[in-house]
């Protein structure tokens, strides 16, 4: 019985050492993945910021006024010269 316990202890030390090394290796691999994913996240965040800034520029009234005046030859109209027509739909038909 003593020989079995001693044999188990002798084999358990290298096995535990191997498991420790394996766990350390897996941790290093996962740590590298996390660093890579953080880098990708940072790049996507910067790209998103640039896209939002581009959208804000495209929505700016100054840009719209410039395009309307120079490219489309449109002029601003006073509010009293604008007529609004609203048409009410009757029923909820799906005829197209």
How many other CB atoms are there within 10 angstroms of residue 35's CB atom? 10
Residues 6+ apart with CB under 8 A from 69: 75
| Domain-wise residue ranges, the chain | 2-74
Distance of CA 5 to the CA centre of its chain: 56
**Tell me: the pLDDT tens digits for 24-52?**
999 999 999 999 999 999 999 999 999 99
Q: What is the pTM of this model?
A: 0.54
Mean predicted lDDT score pLDDT of the chain: 89
Which pair of tokens denotes residue 75? 């002029």
Q: Which has more confidence, 29 or 65?
A: 29
Q: Could you tell me how many residues make up the chain?
A: 96
Cβ(63)–Cβ(57) under 8 Å? yes
Which pair of tokens denotes residue 60? 């700016």
| Spatial separation of the C-alpha atoms in residues 16 and 4, rounded to whole Å | 18
């Amino acid at each position: 019985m003593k020989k079995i316990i001693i044999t188990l202890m002798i084999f358990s030390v290298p096995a535990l050492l191997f498991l420790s090394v394996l766990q350390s290796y897996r941790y290093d691999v996962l740590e590298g993945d996390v660093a890579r994913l953080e880098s990708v996240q940072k790049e996507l965040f910067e790209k998103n910021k640039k896209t939002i800034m581009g959208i804000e520029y495209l929505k700016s009234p100054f840009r719209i006024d410039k395009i309307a005046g120079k490219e489309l030859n449109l002029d601003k109209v006073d509010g009293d010269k604008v007529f609004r027509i609203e048409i009410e739909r009757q029923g909820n038909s799906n005829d197209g």
